[in-house]
Amino acid sequence: MSREKVYLVGTGPGDPELITIKAERIISSSDVLVYDDLIPPEIMGLANKNARTIYVGKRAGRHKMSQGEINSLLVQLAREGKRVARLKGGDPCIFGRCGEEAAYLKKHGVDFEIIPGISSATAGPVSVGIPPTHRHLSSSLRIVTAHEDPTKEDSLLDWENMAQDKGTIVFLMGASRIGAIAKRLIAEGMDKDRLCALVQDATTGFQRHVLSTLAKVEKDAKRMGIGSPCIMLVGDIAGMAHELFEPKSLPLEGTSVLITRPIHLAWESALRFFSQGARAYVYPLIEISELAFDIPDIESHDMFIFTSQNAVNLFMEKMLSSGRDSRIFSGIEIVAIGPSTADALYRYGITADIVAKFYTAEGIIEAIEAKGVKGRSICIPRAKGARPYLVDALQDMGAWVTEIPVYESRMPANADSESFYHMLAKVDSVIFTSPSGAMNALELLGDGATEILNTKMIVTIGPITAGFLKDSGLEPDLSANTHTDIGIIEAMKGARK
């Protein structure tokens, strides 16, 4: 079946969990993601590892590509036989220029589909306790672009009619025109004491809002430093915020982090950080490449040691494809480096007999040395080029060790210096979860590595990655005691107290 098709995808207002199921499916199966600044950055964690990402950043006054260039790009990619996801913040058809792109695709014979999304026009007010409509307060909702200059004489907007509106008016993309909008509405007859609300970065950990009146909103916005992206709501319904809004403080609120894990692990990581208030950007610095390997005579071994989820998944899938299943491990002792690896084993019907308390090779040795391994046959499916410590220590204890390289970590094909520098500029913290990821970061940054990384908070998953960075001349700011995402989050929370 032909794949060439362009999907114009709404990615929601900011909270990555507000994306639709269909949008998630399209993103994860697309060959190319064409995106700009206003999509939730966590969404990029849904991409498949072979997907190409193209940044076309469009914000007021700063265009990476013109609209015409974007239109041509979409047609070109489709004609190359690609499945393309054109990602847009909110709903693509609410001031997202979706209609223009769809018409251009139609004109050039390109198959396309529009995937609606949740708009900040409704999610923004709701996130601060303001339902856009209410049976007793507002029976209508008007959504207006604020990109048009309110002082323009030949306006396409009927400001006189709008000023008489007793319902709710939501202006999108209007952070720079808050004062002009308020003045124009008052000039056309709207009560200067009419309630209004501003919501910046709606539904994210950076969200801020202001409740005001038309007469005071410009001054209040400046006092609070309200900027883009921002919605402006006008209407009596704004008063509902006093009744319904419940402020909450998340421990990593206002923090922006860069997740460098492999793409297939990035989505879950991004959601964990987002749930704590952080804005999570995704830039995989390693990808997992399966190696050719043979399944050994499993029953001839006394113990299997798994040191990663990747090793579990690749080994088990290969075993299952050979016609065997988890029953073959009956009577064989299974060791997992940590709970995530143990969970991966459990998904294949295997319960780990031993889970290391410290999620390192040293932790594994500590967990099994009391049992004694002298004369036992141990198999370790793991990454090519992994630290030799585990094998050496087991052999020193008298074990017979078979090491099976089932994958290797390498630089992602679509990683490059320009895009990595661009991503680093967005964040205040960088998270490294492996020495190989840290090594690839240094390679991409070249001579500027130390200078730029020293401007960020460097957080590592554990001592091995921290040690690599120290040997490379960089001092990590934090290192997790528990070597998981949760451990990293706890370390960052502790540093903010």
Question: Has residue 401 got a pLDDT over 90?
Answer: yes
Question: Has residue 234 got a pLDDT over 50?
Answer: yes
Which position among 15, 36, 165, 201 bears the catalytic label? 36
Q: Each residue of 300-326: pLDDT tens digit?
A: 999 999 999 999 999 999 999 999 999
The terminus-to-terminus CA distance of the chain in angstroms comes to 55
193 catalytically annotated: no
Which position among 31, 162, 165, 173 bears the catalytic label? 173
Question: Has residue 61 got a pLDDT over 60?
Answer: no
Q: Which domains does the chain have, with CATH numbers?
A: 5-118 (3.40.1010.10), 122-244 (3.30.950.10), 249-286+411-497 (3.40.50.10090), 288-409 (3.40.50.10090)
What is residue 492's predicted lDDT score, i.e. its pLDDT?
A: 96
What is residue 2's predicted lDDT score, i.e. its pLDDT?
A: 60
Question: Has residue 406 got a pLDDT over 80?
Answer: yes
> If you average pLDDT over residues 352-359, what whole number do you get?
92
Residue with tokens 């200067």: 192
Distance separating alpha carbons of residues 167 and 162, to the nearest angstrom = 10
Question: Has residue 1 got a pLDDT over 50?
Answer: no
Which position among 58, 64, 183, 384 bears the catalytic label? 58
Instruction: Categorize the per-residue pLDDT at 211 as very low, low, confident or very high, splitting at 50, 70 and 90.
Output: very high
Distance separating alpha carbons of residues 57 and 494, to the nearest angstrom = 35
What is residue 23's predicted lDDT score, i.e. its pLDDT?
A: 98
What is residue 358's predicted lDDT score, i.e. its pLDDT?
A: 87
Instruction: Categorize the per-residue pLDDT at 60 as very low, low, confident or very high, splitting at 50, 70 and 90.
Output: low
Contact present, 160 and 167 (Cβ < 8 Å): no
What is residue 413's predicted lDDT score, i.e. its pLDDT?
A: 87
What is residue 77's predicted lDDT score, i.e. its pLDDT?
A: 97
What is residue 3's predicted lDDT score, i.e. its pLDDT?
A: 73
Tell me the pairing of strands 168-172 and 230-234: antiparallel
Q: Each residue of 250-288: pLDDT tens digit?
A: 999 999 999 999 998 899 999 999 999 999 999 999 999
> If you average pLDDT over residues 183-199, what whole number do you get?
96
Q: Each residue of 438-486: pLDDT tens digit?
A: 999 999 999 889 899 999 999 999 999 999 999 999 999 999 999 899 9
Residue with tokens 């970065």: 201
Instruction: Categorize the per-residue pLDDT at 161 as very low, low, confident or very high, splitting at 50, 70 and 90.
Output: very high
Tell me the pairing of strands 377-383 and 230-234: unpaired
58 catalytically annotated: yes
What is residue 496's predicted lDDT score, i.e. its pLDDT?
A: 86
Q: Each residue of 127-147: pLDDT tens digit?
A: 999 999 999 999 999 999 987
Instruction: Categorize the per-residue pLDDT at 335 as very low, low, confident or very high, splitting at 50, 70 and 90.
Output: very high
173 catalytically annotated: yes
Question: Has residue 35 got a pLDDT over 70?
Answer: yes
Distance separating alpha carbons of residues 9 and 12, to the nearest angstrom = 9
Question: Has residue 151 got a pLDDT over 80?
Answer: no
Tell me the pairing of strands 429-432 and 256-259: parallel
123 residue type, one letter: A
